[in-house]
Every structure is written in structure tokens, then in C-alpha cells.
Amino acid sequence: MRTNPVFREGIQIYFSEGYGFPAYFYLLIILAPVELLAIFLPSLDVQMWTGSANLFKVSSITALILMVYFGLKIANQEFAPWRFYPIKRWLREERIPLPQVALAQTSVLALHVLFFAFLCAPLLIWAGAIARTHWITILSTLLLLVFYALSYGVWGLGTATLWENRAESRQVFVRCFFFAVVFLSALLYLPINPVAFVLAYLGNKELTPLVVWGWKWSPSSIHFLFHLGLLASGLFFYRWALRKGVAL
């Protein structure tokens, strides 16, 4: 992967030149105050440092929204769109094979998502310790956040590729896409909504199973099948956008 120029470009722009630093800063500067407010606002008595049982829930939901949102922005190349070479240049002039371009860009996205999780981990562990949350629950929550950020983030890659020269259009699309999926999933069947699922998981609450033609489906199975489908369709959309870039 080190020899892949598309991967090196992403690392150079986001890490060496620092264009990814605003995303990391915003993530921390929003998550940390939310945790502090969640501790202090409910009560200011002498027992405040035992924390609320809801502290880890609030922190996890905040981290989920931030990781997905900034993952989409990173994938959509919103922090430094002028610094990236056009996809056509990589595919035509540099003659980088399409699978290598796709692998490099998805690897950069995955690296950012893991770095987001790394930044969130100390705050979530701290919140979990105060809320007396088991370490397995904390770890599984972090893995869920990574899964969600990747499932939505690949749609940002496809959008950046398809509307490469229309920055405003793709920025509007990724925001509408994220909020539409979250909102519609809550309306159609609540267990497929990531916020509702994480809250139910952390609260040890049972979600309503889905009954179709007499078959009863587990809410957890439906939830993960939905997001695996979201991830797979996002990758398909991204590959289709790349192939369209080759054809044009």
C-alpha cells in the first residue's frame, strides 16, 4: 500500500499537511463538553462524580453521530478538495488500475475511522468507568461506531467520485443522505436506526422483532443485515462511479 500513489496522496494531505486536523479537533471539542455537561447538569450534589448511568449512552450517541458525520466529510474530500488529483488523472494519465484506486481510497477512509475511534476511546472509557459500564460493552460499542462510520462513509467516496467537479452538490447530498437514512430508518422500523439500536443495546432493552409472512426476524439480525447492505451498496455505488469516470 505504501507504493500506491493514491494512498500516499491521502496520507500526505490529511496527516503531513494537516488538512485532516480540523475534523479531529471538532470531534474532540464537541464530544468532551457533551460528556462534562452530561455529568454536571443532572445534579450538583456531592455524589456527582459517581456519574449518571446515562453518561456512557450520551457519550456513545454523540461519538456515533460525530464519527459518521466527519467520516462522510473526509470521504467526500470536503476539507481540502483543491489538493486532490482528479480521479480521471489517476485512471487515465497515471494508469493506476481501478481496483488499486478503490483500495487506496477505502484504506484512507478506514484509517481515518480507526483514528476517530482512537480519539474517542479515552473519553468513552472514562465515561464508561464513571457509569460503571463493563469493558466488553465499551469495546463492542467502539466496534459498532467503526462499523457505522464505514457503512456510511463509503457513500461519501462514491459521491466525491461521481460529482468530482461539483463540490456544493456533493456536500448537500452527503448531508441529506445521512439524515434521511437515520430519519427514515426510525420511521420505517426503529431497530434498524443506529441511534435507537445503540441506546437499546446499552440499556439492555429488547427491540420489537420483525414479523413478515409469519416469519419472526431478530431485531439485531435485521439491523446488521440492513447496515451490511448499506455498506455493500455504497461500495457498489463507489465502484460504479469509478467505472463511469473511466468511460467518460
CA atoms of 155 and 150, how far apart (whole Å)? 9
Q: CA 173, CA 159: separation in Å to the nearest integer? A: 8
The whole-angstrom separation of Cα 235 and Cα 62 is 26
Q: Which three cell numbers stand for residue 134?
A: 463493563
Helix (H) or strand (E) holding 216: strand 215-217
Q: pTM of the entire structure?
A: 0.88
**79: DSSP letter:** S
Give CA 158 to chain center in angstroms: 15
User: Between these two residues, 151 and 247, which has the higher pLDDT value?
Assistant: 151
And the C-alpha cell for 237? 455505488
What is the share, in percent, of the chain residues with pLDDT greater than 90?
Answer: 35
Sequence-separated (6 or more) residues with CB below 8 Å from residue 107: 1, 7
Q: Can you tell me the distance from the alpha carbon of 237 to that of 86, in angstroms, rounded to the nearest whole number?
A: 18
DSSP lists the bridge partners of residue 215 as 212
pLDDT band for position 226 (cuts 50, 70, 90)? very high
CA distance 176 to 7: 28
Per-position b or e across 222-235, b if 16+ CB within 10 A of its CB = bbeebbeebbeebb
Nearest by Cα to 219 from 184, 171, 173, 185: 185
**How many Cα atoms are found within 13 Å in the side-chain-facing hemisphere of 102?**
18
- Pick 141 or 242 by higher pLDDT: 141
Q: If you average pLDDT over each of 16-20, 82-86, 107-111, which comes out highest?
A: 107-111
Angle, vertex CA 35, rays to CA 29 and CA 38, nearest 5: 135
Q: Is the pLDDT of residue 88 over 80?
A: no
Place of cell 467537479: 165
How far apart are alpha carbons 12 and 195 in whole angstroms?
Answer: 34
Minimum mean pLDDT among 46-55, 214-223, 237-246: which range?
Answer: 46-55
Structure confidence by residue, pLDDT tens digits, 40-51: 765 544 444 444
Instruction: Count CA within 13 A, CB hemisphere, residue 221.
Output: 6
pLDDT score of 13 more than 60: yes
